[in-house]
Structure 1
C-alpha cells in the first residue's frame, strides 16, 4: 500500500496526507493484515477524487473522506486527528493511523462481526486500557447527536467488552 501511495504522489507531484482507518491499518497496530480489497482513509491533504480514480485504475476500491466522523451518526471523538500518529513520511507522502483507542471506536461505530474482531485484536495487541477506552466511549456518547443509533452503539460496545474479556481470559492474560 505504501508503494502504491508513493507511486501516486510521484506521478502527480502533489502531496498526500492520509489517515488509514480500515483493515489496511491493522499491521501498524501489530495485528496481522486480513484480506481486504479496499482502502478506507481520511484525507488530511490531497485530492480525494484524483486519488480515488488512481486507486480504481489500479484495481483497488476505496472509501475516502475529508471527515470520517461523517460516516456514521455516531461521531468520532473530538481530537482524533490530533491523536493520530505518523507511520510513514517522505517529502510528499504522510501516512497516519488513528490512536488504538480511536481505531476501536471507529470500528465499533459500524459494528459488524469483523469490525468487532478487528477492534478486539487491536485492543489486545496495543494493550489498550479499559479505563481509557471507557472515557472515549462516554465522550462519543456525549458528542454524538441523540439518535436510536446510540442504543445500537452501546450494545455493540457491550458485546465488544464481553468478547474482549473472554478472549483475554482464555489466553490467560490479565485484562488491560
Structure 2
C-alpha cells in the first residue's frame, strides 16, 4: 500500500511538471529524473524526498519558466554531470529509461538508468544515497564488475581533482557494503 502511495505521489509530481511545462508554452520536453525520486520510481522502500532533481533538455529561460509554475522544490540542469566534480558515464541520456506510468502532454519523462543512478549516488555518498545505491544494485542484480567499469568511465571524463580520490574510496566502500 505504501509503495502505491509513493508512486501515486511520484505521478502527481510528474503531472505538476507537465502542467508547469504547458503553462510555460513548452511542448515535448525531455526530462531525466535522478535523485531520490528516481529511487522511488524504481521501488526503493520507505524512501522520501523533499525535491525533484532532473536534467531537462532545455536552456535557462525554459528552466526558469517551468520553475515559476511549480509549487515544490526542484533542481533542474541541462547537464547532470555538472552537479559534481565526477561525471556520469558518457551515454547516460541514451541509457535513460522511459517512465510511462503517467500520461503527459508536454513532457517526456525518463529515469536515469539504475547503473547510472548508482554512480550518481556514489558521487554524493550521503547515507540515504548509499542505501539507494545498494537497493538498486541488488534489485537489478547489477554486477560488481559493471559498477567498477562505470566508475572507471566516470573517472576518465572527470576533471582532475582531489574529488577523484574521494570517489575511488567511496566506490570501494560501496562495493564492500553491496557485495559482502
TM-score, normalised via structure 2 length? 0.83
State the alpha-carbon separation in 2 of the partners of residues 153 and 105 from structure 1: 10
Q: Secondary structure at the match of 1:122?
A: helix
Query: What is the CA-CA distance between 1:152 and the residue it aligns to?
Result: 0.5
Aligned to 1:53: 68
Q: Which of 6, 29, 37 is the matching residue for 2:42? A: 29
Query: What is the CA-CA distance between 1:64 and the residue it aligns to?
Result: 0.8
Aligned to 2:33: 20
Q: Residue 29 of structure 1 contacts residue 126 of structure 1 at CA under 8 Å; is this kept in 2? A: no
TM-score, normalised via structure 1 length? 0.85
Matches within 5 A, 1:97-116: 97-116=111-130
Aligned to 1:70: 82
Aligned to 1:81: 93
Q: Which of 50, 55, 71 is the matching residue for 1:42? A: 55
Number of residue pairs matched by the alignment: 163
Q: Residue 75 of structure 1 contacts residue 143 of structure 1 at CA under 8 Å; is this kept in 2? A: yes
Q: Secondary structure at the match of 1:69?
A: helix
Q: Residue 24 of structure 1 contacts residue 33 of structure 1 at CA under 8 Å; is this kept in 2? A: no
**1:19-69 per-position Cα deviation (integer Å, ceiling 9, x unaligned):** 0011011133222361211110000247111122222xx1x1111100111
Unaligned runs of 5+ in 2: 1-12
Q: Residue 20 of structure 1 contacts residue 41 of structure 1 at CA under 8 Å; is this kept in 2? A: yes
Q: Secondary structure at the match of 1:153?
A: helix
Q: Secondary structure at the match of 1:64?
A: strand
Backbone CA RMSD of aligned residues:
1.7
Q: Residue 26 of structure 1 contacts residue 33 of structure 1 at CA under 8 Å; is this kept in 2? A: no
